[in-house]
Amino acid sequence: GLLGGALGGCAPEAAQQSTQQLTQQPTQESTQQPAAQNVKKLKLSASAPYGIYTANQNITFVLKADRPADGELTVEIVLKNSLNSETVKGEVTLHAGEDSATADLGKAALGHYEVKAEASCGETELKTRYVGVTHELSERSGTDERFSVDLASTWHANSRQRKQYAELIKLMGVSNVRERIRLGDIYDEATGKVSLSKYLPALQTLQEFGLDTIITFHDYPASLSAAQQKVMPADLLKTYRLVKAAADAVGDLVSAWEIWNEQDVIHFGNDYPDEYAAFLKAAAIALSDSQADPIKALGAFARDPYYSKFGVWMLENRVLDYVDVYNYHSYVFSGPSATPSADLAAIGKHME
């Protein structure tokens, strides 16, 4: 979670009554606990993964102290809706001897909320700075929307994180994710065998959550490349066999394959457009011959097709005859305003 803080100082010790006051009220006994004095650090976290709740869920937070409180401690919580400034308020109390408690703020309207908190004692660290409330999954249209998330969980997440990411993406309303594999990881240089055991658990998790997966790759086993500085392979028959074996191994866990990533920039391509075209054709034929016969996508452009003529020359090699999807990346850039803007000129050139 993102870190933030809302500071609170310990409440003064419960007011000390004078001897005269005690004498005047000898039979009165207070049931209120004295205020906590010993707690220095508090952590407040949303109970839902990554702070995403659906409309029928109560918004709950878990409060944890650095030690059992020696008295009563209260944290006030305010959620501010960024869409209309409406607020949801609640509080959570630690009693003497407790070091954790749960706050229940009830249900909230759909929206994106900023979290603020203030404690009567100690410094509160917000482990969750924002929460969101989304539609129930059962109330959604079920149509295939056009949004996708470049997740790369096969590289960067453990099994627990993958499940949380998948659940979060499902709640966001996204049904497609982009994953990445390194062909060098799945090919054993010594035996020539192909294994995707490193990647299958992540792909299986995504499928369990009903997510479609697009795979992209942008490296190749060194022994099959034409030269040390080259990326694309020289042996197209070996390319065919490797890609077909990979597609057969993942089967229906992958709905589409993106044949390379940003081949038009040197740090991903470093080849001439006709060399990429030859590689794409071999890979596309392999995918079509695989048991799954997945959707085949052109490797995504990083720039417009006229940049350095790479795209024009590549398309002159009739690569579009071998793929189902034309593919390009649209980047956003910071302009004079605080709001980033898309490179509409580049997008227009792709659409021509």
Pair type for strands 148-150 and 176-181: parallel
**Cα–Cα distance list, 114 to 80, 212, 311 (Å):** 5, 31, 44
How many angstroms separate the CA atoms of 211 and 193, rounded?
29
pLDDT over threshold 90, residue 45: yes
> Which token pair is 338?
């605080």
Instruction: Output 45 or 34, whichever has higher pLDDT.
Output: 45
Q: Which of 24-33, 120-129, 262-271 has the lowest mean pLDDT?
A: 24-33
What number is the average pLDDT over the span 161-185? 87
pLDDT over threshold 60, residue 1: no
> 């482990």: which residue's tokens?
127
Q: How confident is the model at residue 339 (pLDDT cuts 50, 70, 90)?
A: low
DSSP assignment, residue 9? P
CA-wise closest residue to 315 among 267, 268, 349: 349
What pLDDT, in 10s, does the model give residues 55-68?
999 999 999 999 99
pLDDT at residue 6 in the model: 43
> What is the DSSP code string of 102-152?
EEE-----SEEEEEEEEESSSEEEES--EEEEE--GGGS-----S-EEE--
pLDDT at residue 58 in the model: 97
**Cross-strand pairs, 297:** 258, 325
What pLDDT, in 10s, does the model give residues 268-323?
877 889 989 999 999 999 999 999 999 999 999 888 877 778 888 999 999 999 99
pLDDT at residue 227 in the model: 58
pLDDT over threshold 70, residue 24: no
CA-wise closest residue to 220 among 161, 148, 269: 269
How many angstroms separate the CA atoms of 126 and 76, rounded?
12
pLDDT at residue 226 in the model: 58
pLDDT over threshold 60, residue 28: no
Percent with pLDDT over 70 in the chain: 83
Taking all residues of the chain, what is their mean pLDDT, rounded to a whole number? Answer: 83
Q: Which of 96-100, 136-140, 261-265, 315-319 has the lowest mean pLDDT?
A: 136-140
| 9 CA to centre of own chain | 35
Q: Would you put residue 306 in left (φ > 0), alpha (ψ -120 to 50) or beta? A: alpha
pLDDT at residue 32 in the model: 63
How many angstroms separate the CA atoms of 276 and 259, rounded?
10
pLDDT over threshold 90, residue 225: no
Q: How confident is the model at residue 157 (pLDDT cuts 50, 70, 90)?
A: confident
Q: How confident is the model at residue 152 (pLDDT cuts 50, 70, 90)?
A: confident
What pLDDT, in 10s, does the model give residues 85-135?
789 999 999 999 999 999 999 999 999 999 999 998 888 899 999 999 988
> What is the DSSP code string of 302-325?
SS-TTGGGHHHHHHHTTGGGG-SB
Q: How confident is the model at residue 33 (pLDDT cuts 50, 70, 90)?
A: confident
- Burial class from Cβ neighbours inside 10 Å (0-12, 13-18, 19+) for residue 92 reads buried
What number is the average pLDDT over the span 228-237? 74
CA-wise closest residue to 155 among 177, 128, 131: 177
pLDDT over threshold 60, residue 22: no
pLDDT over threshold 50, residue 82: yes
pLDDT at residue 228 in the model: 56
Cβ atoms 123, 8 nearer than 8 A: yes
pLDDT over threshold 90, residue 18: no
pLDDT at residue 20 in the model: 37
Exposure b/e, 171-182, CB count within 10 A at least 16 = b: beebbbbbbbbb
User: pTM higher than 0.85 for the full model?
Assistant: no
What number is the average pLDDT over the span 247-264? 93
